[in-house]
Amino acid sequence: MVGIPCGTTLRNDRLSHSSERRPAVSTNLEQTVAAARQQLDEQTVKTVRLHFDPELGAPFWLEKAKTYDFDPLTDVNCFDDLKKFPLFEDDWLRGGPVTRFLPKKWHNEPKYVFETGGTTGTPKSRCVVRDHWIDYEEFSKTLPDEHFPPGSNWLMLGPSGPRRLRLAVEHLCQHRGGICFCVDLDPRWVVKLLKKGDVQGAKAYADHVIDQAITVLRSGHDVKCAFATPKLLEALAMRLIEDDSSIAEAGITGIFAGGTEFTPQWYRFCKEELLGPDVFITPTYGNTLMGLACGKPFDPADNFKITYYAPQPRAAVEVVEFDDYSKVVEYGGTGRVKLYTLTDELFIPGFMERDEGEREEPHEKYPWDGVSGTRPFHEIAKATTVGVY
Amino acid sequence: MIEIPVIRWGQPYESMDQQPVVHFETGEELARMHQANGGLIKMDMRKSARARDTLRQFSIDQLCEMVGKAADLYMESTLPLGNGTQTPQEFCRIQSATTGLPEHMCAFNMRKNAFVLKQMKPLLEALTRGLPTEILSRGYGMEDRGVMLSYQATTNVLGLVLPSNSPGVHALWLPVVPLQIGLVLKPGRQEPWTPYRMFEAFKAAGIPPEVVSIYPGGSDCGPAVLESCNRSMIFGGAATVDQYAGDPRVQAHGPGFSKILFGDDMVDDWEKHLDLMFDSVFANSGRSCINASSIWASRHTEEIANALAERLGPIAPKPMTDPEAGLAAFTMEGAAEAMNNQIEEKLNEPGVTEVTAKYRDGDRLVQHERCDYLRPTVIHAESPEPFLANAEYMFPFVSVVKCPQKDMLKKIGPTLVGSCLTEDEAWSQQLLDATNIDRLNIGPIKTVQLNWLQPHEGNIIDFLFRNRAFQNSPPPAH
């Protein structure tokens, strides 16, 4: 999906990288990879044309275009042409007016604003009309009905407030015909408690959150599905175990959980010890800018390795070299995660994520590059308080 | 490559997460530690009662004998380590290579641990003040004088969140298993060696391995231990100690701020005690909480500081294998530099002077490619007010503080070990009454000289057992 000139096939791209690392993919997979690539190119052109449209485009990009030595409307004809844009600067997303990234086409629609956690300073914000719904409707297609029965109710255990997660999970649940019971966790308050060393306060707050989840589960709401952050899921499961019950006995059959704390070891611990054999859990990785990346379906041969695939073509990720963000690493290589958002509501040509990881081969279900082993980018990991959920 | 698994109640567990342990000078990978996760620890702690039940199948006397045997194995045998084995010499070499402590100091700490194990029976007798051990095992018993006593264990296991750089602290948890209480160890990243070797020595000596868990791991493991064990010890800085102040479940070991106090009656003879001061500051590279970090006197402080500086100032880093090596390396990037910067900044305050500089050929901070050293530093403080008058650093650093005797007890602050040189009976009584001194030495005793028949920073018996009322027959009429 990356680093190739327009019109070149993926096969040629891989051969040009290294003949030794040529992936063992089937012809069928190669075809789906090529088709996905074509879809990404088309989405790129469509997105750029909207965001740089003189009448309907986004105020920010229309202003930026004046500084470029190329014309986005005519010179962007495929995904790789996005390399013509300078790197997207993190700080552009901080502060207002929040509608500057939203194409004027949507300015008269009801709007939401979502913010990131604020662990690296002033929160980054994003104005949205209905992208968060679409992201989760797309994600819904990846959930197995056997474990996430259509029509069943959900428990959403995680941050709401300025985060999009609550609304998005709730919409996913509604989209699948259920009612979502929500329990809030305010990560900014937990960060404050931890920064001042109030471990007891943080523990008391976590207990307060779990108390509410237990109340929902014991109130006859027929909850079968859940979203939870890894730490909250662990706390909920442990509380039920302490009470001689379990997640399975509480009636939950399917869970999706997300974040960099969903490590292979934690995945294994969940499957082998925490949840038991009857509860399905799938890793996801998402944020306000990208939507929801899906985890590669569990395969014992992977030894619990977690590989994420961005929701292409609405977003794409690359794993790029640490010292040159324009170069994609070899398959299996380690680099920083670079994000592209390509929706009708947001255009981001190359945002450097807080995470690093390894570049992974396309998968039959997700025929484009994936990323595994995501963890905080080593150069900024020390400066932030992570893992508060 | 040695691979070292997590130990879950005696059973090895190979984790998906592994971390390298590297040689601090060469960067060579010496071992890979399998990493636990917090949930796994909490899950295991649900079975902690089994550890105590298992240990109560043996008497405390039997367990004391077993740990005595373990002492010999720990000192002399080739013992398993993960997928390999380890001789005592290899143990010292690898511990030095990851902690930065010279090899002869590692060997010293090894001997200290073995001594504690060997002396376990008299040690417990001293710490329990002669309590018949079956009272701890059974929970109650009758004293010779006809009084019923009851001691209740406050926990099935003791959790320990251990430091990376100080192998000396391990002696604190050695009495736990003989007291029929299980062990849950979260080793420091650079010093997993003592917990693993001790576990193997215990096992070879006949102690059931299922009473010990060892959880190397990331930042969620320490909190999981503290949260799920009814009694824990943690080692850290002043902030850590403050965080757990008043929490009866946690004993936080931080900086000792140990001191030498000269009484007015003996300070004119300060030269006779120069060795005592030097050793108190310099032993174990000044890294222990029992090292003296300040010396207080009402007069002669300039001379004391100068005499100490003359001996400490020239001491420079040597190879870890050199039996004369006196300085430990700082293996954590930036740590030594940060301390050095703070000292330099605080030396700008009025009333403090560095005395060592004139006896040192070069800077205090010595930077190597992969580690740093801080050379010994003596500060003279005109009063207790400046920051450096009562600071503590993890290298031979001491401030000699001028303070009238009548003000000392008010000004010294918390003091783990106070070595007080006086024969003044009235002041001695004040010292005995001073609650800000934990371990009190009155007389010419170095701060680093421990008697293991005395409690160290809180009596472990008081921490692990509760003295309570118990009756199994109606009391006599009264």
Residue B39 neighbours by CB distance under 10 Å: 23
A45 and A6 in contact (C-beta within 8 Å)?
no
**pLDDT digit string, tens, across residues B332-388:** 889 999 999 999 999 999 999 999 999 999 999 999 988 999 999 999 999 999 999
Q: For residues A279 and A101, what is the distance between their CA atoms, to the nearest angstrom?
A: 41
Contact B17 A265 (CB under 8 A): yes
Lowest mean pLDDT among A371-380, B10-19, B196-205, B215-224: A371-380
Mean pLDDT (whole number) for A230-256: 94
Q: Which tokens sit at A125?
A: 């914000």
N-terminal to C-terminal alpha carbon distance within chain B: 72
pLDDT category of residue A36 using cuts at 50, 70 and 90: very high
Above 90 in pLDDT, residue A260? Answer: no
pLDDT category of residue A26 using cuts at 50, 70 and 90: low
Q: Is residue B447 part of a domain?
A: no
Q: Are residues B182 and B321 in the same domain?
A: no
Burial B99-132 (b: 16+ CB within 10 A, else e): bbbbbbbbbbbbebbbebbbbbbebbbbbbeebb
Short-list B21, B33, B32, CA closest to B95: B21
Q: Which residue has the tokens 């002033």?
A: A122
Under CATH, domain A91-383 is a member of which superfamily?
Answer: ANL, N-terminal domain (3.40.50.12780)
What is the model's pLDDT at position A19?
38
**pLDDT digit string, tens, across residues B68-101:** 999 999 999 999 999 999 999 999 999 999 999 9
pLDDT category of residue A16 using cuts at 50, 70 and 90: very low
Q: Which tokens sit at A179?
A: 């009612």
Q: Are residues B161 and B290 in the same domain?
A: no
Closest Cα in chain A, distance from residue B229 (Å): 15
pLDDT category of residue A385 using cuts at 50, 70 and 90: very low
Q: Which tokens sit at B6?
A: 């997590």
Question: By percentage, how much of chain B surpasses pLDDT 70?
Answer: 100
pLDDT category of residue A56 using cuts at 50, 70 and 90: very high
Contact B37 A265 (CB under 8 A): yes
What is the model's pLDDT at position A262?
86
Q: Are residues B215 and B285 in the same domain?
A: no
Strand-pair category, A153-158 with A180-184? parallel
In this structure, chain A runs to a length of 389
Q: Which of B40, B219, B243 sits opposite A197 (nearest CB)?
A: B243
A255 and A280 in contact (C-beta within 8 Å)?
yes
**Reported pTM:** 0.88
Residue type, B421: L
Residues of chain A found within 8 Å of residue B43, distances taken between Cβ atoms:
238, 241, 269, 273-274
Q: For residues A23 and B14, what is the distance between their CA atoms, to the nearest angstrom?
A: 30
Lowest mean pLDDT among A92-106, B159-173, B250-264, B336-350: B159-173
Query: Omega of the bond prior to A313 within 30 degrees of 0, cis?
Result: yes
Q: Which residue has the tokens 């619990």?
A: A304
Q: Rounded mean pLDDT of chain A?
A: 88
What is the model's pLDDT at position A382?
52
Above 60 in pLDDT, residue A268? Answer: yes
**CATH assignment of the domain containing B294:** 3.40.309.10
| Residues 294-323, chain A, touching B (beta carbon < 8 A) | 303-304
Q: Is residue B451 part of a domain?
A: no
Q: Are residues B243 and B286 in the same domain?
A: no
Beta bridge partners of B32: B3, B20
Q: Is the ipTM of this complex over 0.90?
A: no
**CATH assignment of the domain containing B243:** 3.40.605.10
**pLDDT digit string, tens, across residues B4-34:** 999 999 999 999 999 999 999 999 999 999 9
A193, A200, A234: best to mutate for the B interface, most B CBs within 10 A: A234
Residue type, B40: L
**pLDDT digit string, tens, across residues B235-284:** 988 888 888 888 899 999 989 999 999 999 999 999 999 999 999 999 99
3-state secondary structure of B169: helix
Distance of CA B295 to the CA centre of its chain: 21
Strand-pair category, A254-258 with B352-354? unpaired
Mean pLDDT (whole number) for A338-355: 94
Contact A263 B243 (CB under 8 A): no
Domain ranges of chain A: 91-383
Backbone angles phi, psi at B136, to 5 degrees: -70, -40
Contact A242 B46 (CB under 8 A): yes
pLDDT category of residue B166 using cuts at 50, 70 and 90: confident
pLDDT category of residue A118 using cuts at 50, 70 and 90: low
B332 and B394 in contact (C-beta within 8 Å)?
no
Q: Are residues B264 and B401 in the same domain?
A: yes
Q: Is residue B449 part of a domain?
A: no
What is the model's pLDDT at position A10?
35
Q: Are residues B188 and B290 in the same domain?
A: no
Q: Is residue B473 part of a domain?
A: no
Q: Are residues B268 and B247 in the same domain?
A: no
Above 70 in pLDDT, residue B208? Answer: yes
A263 touches chain B (CB under 8 A): yes
Residue type, B448: V
In this structure, chain B runs to a length of 478
pLDDT category of residue A84 using cuts at 50, 70 and 90: very high
Residues of chain B found within 8 Å of residue A267, distances taken between Cβ atoms:
16
Domain extent at residue B366: 258-442
Question: By percentage, how much of chain A surpasses pLDDT 70?
Answer: 90
What is the model's pLDDT at position A2?
36
Q: Are residues B151 and B179 in the same domain?
A: yes
Q: Are residues B116 and B151 in the same domain?
A: yes
Q: Are residues B346 and B464 in the same domain?
A: no
* Counted domains in chain B: 2
Contact A264 B16 (CB under 8 A): yes
Closest Cα in chain B, distance from residue A254 (Å): 20
What is the model's pLDDT at position B56?
97
Q: Is residue B374 part of a domain?
A: yes
Residues of chain A found within 8 Å of residue B35, distances taken between Cβ atoms:
265
Q: Is residue B474 part of a domain?
A: no
Residues of chain B found within 8 Å of residue A241, distances taken between Cβ atoms:
43, 46
Q: Which residue has the tokens 């009454």?
A: B433
Above 70 in pLDDT, residue A67? Answer: yes
Q: Are residues B227 and B374 in the same domain?
A: no
Beta bridge partners of B439: B417
What is the model's pLDDT at position A14?
34
Q: For residues A183 and B191, what is the distance between their CA atoms, to the nearest angstrom?
A: 41
Residues of chain B found within 8 Å of residue A264, distances taken between Cβ atoms:
16-17
